[in-house]
Structure 1
Amino acid sequence: MNSSKSVEALFQPFKFGNTMLSNRVVMAPMTRQFSPNGIPGSDVASYYRRRAENGVGLIVTEGTVINHPDSSNQANVPHFYGESALQGWANVVNQVHEAGGRIIPQIWHMGARGNVNDYAESEIVAIVEAFAQAAAEAKRLGFDGIELHGAHGYLIDQFFWEKTNTRTDRYGGDMVKRTRFATEVIEACRRAVGPEFPIVLRFSQWKSSDYAAKLAKTPAELERFLAPLIEAGVDVFHCSTRRFWEPEFEGSDLNLAGWTKKLTGKPTITVGSVGLDGEFMSLFTEGKGAGNAKIDGLIERLEREEFDLVAVGRALLVDPAWAKKIRDGRTDELVPFTSEAIKTLY
């Protein structure tokens, strides 16, 4: 990978709540299932510390599930409840901070039951409270904020999407009414952490079951969708796309993060195959890997302030020093993303 453009914009500080990020590079959340019985061990702390030591501005952890029986159906996904798991996360925070990094947990309910229409209102209230409790624990442990996982067809997103939410009570209805569950989660988390603790919401148009899905088909619809989420207390939107360079709507080059920032004025995080020359799903569907791609176009968008932060996933997964190598111009040393490299997940 050779970039002819200065990467200075990627390494400018950014105010995040009451803290300052050293640069605009974010480690994207990536599920690894390396926490036996839901408990993150010292290896998990070392994994995140390595990225902090190598210049990542903000780390978003892998998805961590809340205290609800239906939040996960995978034994080795980390929990964000219970004394042992929380002690493990306290060690992660300490290691990352000691290395000079900043870190937030991604708080998650997988929607493992798979049908939001079956939840009784009393159970929804309990789930909302479980999200709030996780947020409170994150603040107590010393994290720098939280991210709520509202993307990719998981629970919060299942309430957003008309194909999975056909409820006729107060949690269903039109696009704005379908945000009610999310707004209650956000409001509860805000009450739990206070006004200054950053709340990030990750959302997506696409679903793991339907890459062409659209919550909002036009900018006007997107604006209506986002408004109640902002009012509820979202500080930053993490706008998940599969390829950051693809426009979200016809007639504009803006991607989802670009449109979200334009419509709301809120800071946004862009994401989607950053640093890769191939779309990541081909690795799994076709056994392919991806080399390192130029990031000139990304830098140009960042310089135009279309978005504020850049989340890097698989390129950073296989190369903990990705940010430092990009900063120092050592792009010939970048580790390519291949099926062999991903086996390590180090």
Structure 2
Amino acid sequence: MNQKVLFTPSKIKNKTLANRFIVAPMTRISAEKDGRANETMQHYYERYAKGGYSAVISEGIYLDESYSQGYYNQPGLANDEHTNAWKPVVKAVQDKGALMIAQLMHAGGQSQGNIYTGETIAPSTAAPKGEQLGFYGGYGSFQTPQSAQDEDLKQIKKAFVQSALRAKEAGFDGVELHGANGYLLDQFLTDYLNYRKDAYGGTVENRLRLILEVIDEVRAAVGESYIIGIRMSQIKVTDSDHKWADGEKEAEAIFSALGNTSLNYVHVTDGDGSAPAFGENSRTLAEAAKVFGKLPVIANGGLGTPEKAAAVIGNDEADFISLGTSALANPDLPNKVEKEKRLQEFDFEKTLLPQAEIKEHELNQQLVK
């Protein structure tokens, strides 16, 4: 496949992206203890814009001073101090020619570190599968969450709205709602985490309801010209084997519903973004999103080689490629690919959390305890 397709411009809403490379959201746990972005984060994000990426999606940002935080040292958009702290970070990225999008995240029952409360909230009293992530400061099983009541659902929607408005004030080009990887919005969509008997549980239409309401309320708040996207997945942080129960049929229901909203793009992530997502000879998750949702699609998952990335774009399965570990290993990957330079392999120990960040995190954990 001709790799030149990766360097053709394309649009999301009213913004033109110079190429098809986007930096994926990645948890970094390098914010201040109180959730403020800092100079370390500014350097981290700015280097991707210098390296040729057309857009950068932030790590998951928590929404409020309640249940949304998922990790200690996670950045927030929950108050004025958070908003102001993000402004120089966003400006640094934009000054280097890239868009910057804020990923808005409510951890729900998957929270493993919250400075505001020791409790968690979720659709039902069902704890996530698996163990907390040790390299992000967690240990042991997840606690059993509270089941969200009607007032909690109103507060959750309000938190998404308020953080979206703060993102706009901070200068972000748009927001991405985190509906993937086992966090709160995805918990509502997940059959084994949502056994509610009300309008938010049961059928796929009901399990989608909160997501659709959040989209509508955020759009009403930020206006028609502001970018709103969503990230979706079948897999979870601690359940990489999960599949939607009805496979491609369920994918059609989900992506068709999302396509009928005011969203400007859908961002999908899978273990291998170029592989069939629903069994042998089925569509990839990106292709399903594009066919059924009819919106611009960002594909993520093992697409760090230019050959695979070009194939996904060239076959019209997606419009953009987002890179996580490949971007960590190659902050200048687009520039390298364009100049036909060799790419670095990802090394978990050296690349995921630089030693300075690990030491800072360990110190903060001691202060918390």
The question of a shared fold, defined as TM-score above 0.5 by the shorter chain, is answered with yes
Task: Tell me what 2:16 maps to.
Answer: 20
Quick one: which of 337, 341, 346 aligns to 2:351? 341
User: Aligned equivalents of 1:180 and 1:53: distance in 2?
Assistant: 40
RMSD between aligned alpha carbons? Answer: 1.7
User: Aligned equivalents of 1:23 and 1:139: distance in 2?
Assistant: 24
1:87-236 maps to which residues of 2 (within 5 A)? Answer: 87-111=84-108, 112=111, 113=120, 115-117=122-124, 118-215=147-244, 217-236=246-265
Report whether the alignment pairs 1:299 with 2:295.
no
C-alpha contact 1:205 1:216 (8 A) present in aligned 2: no
Q: Structure 1 stretch 124-133 or stretch 108-117: which is displaced more?
A: 108-117
Report whether the alignment pairs 1:9 with 2:18.
no
Residue deviations 1:130-159 (CA, integer Å, cap 9, x gap): 101111122222211110000111100000
User: Aligned equivalents of 2:320 and 2:181: distance in 1?
Assistant: 20
| Deviation of 1:196 (Å) | 2.1
1:255-294 maps to which residues of 2 (within 5 A)? Answer: 255-275=284-304, 294=305
| SS in structure 1 of the partner of residue 244 of structure 2 | coil
User: Aligned equivalents of 1:188 and 1:68: distance in 2?
Assistant: 20
Over the matched positions of the two proteins, sequence identity in percent amounts to 31
Task: Tell me what 1:319 maps to.
Answer: 330
C-alpha contact 1:49 1:95 (8 A) present in aligned 2: yes
Q: Structure 1 stretch 59-68 or stretch 295-304: which is displaced more?
A: 295-304
User: Aligned equivalents of 1:182 and 1:301: distance in 2?
Assistant: 27
C-alpha contact 1:245 1:255 (8 A) present in aligned 2: yes
Task: Tell me what 1:65 maps to.
Answer: 62
User: Aligned equivalents of 1:87 and 1:318: distance in 2?
Assistant: 30
Amino acid in the other structure paired with 1:340:
K
User: Aligned equivalents of 2:300 and 2:29: distance in 1?
Assistant: 22
Residue deviations 1:37-56 (CA, integer Å, cap 9, x gap): 21111121121111101110
| Deviation of 1:267 (Å) | 1.0
Question: For the structure 1 residues 75 and 210, does the alpha-carbon distance in structure 2 shift closer, same or farther, using more than 3 Å as the test?
Answer: closer
Residue deviations 1:267-297 (CA, integer Å, cap 9, x gap): 111111222xxxxxxxxxxxxxxxxxx4323
Amino acid in the other structure paired with 1:145:
G
- Could you tell me which runs of 5 or more consecutive residues in structure 2 were left unpaired when the two chains were aligned: 112-119, 125-146, 358-369
C-alpha contact 2:51 2:335 (8 A) present in aligned 1: yes
Task: Tell me what 1:35 maps to.
Answer: 31
Amino acid in the other structure paired with 1:306:
E
Question: For the structure 1 residues 216 and 295, does the alpha-carbon distance in structure 2 shift closer, same or farther, using more than 3 Å as the test?
Answer: farther
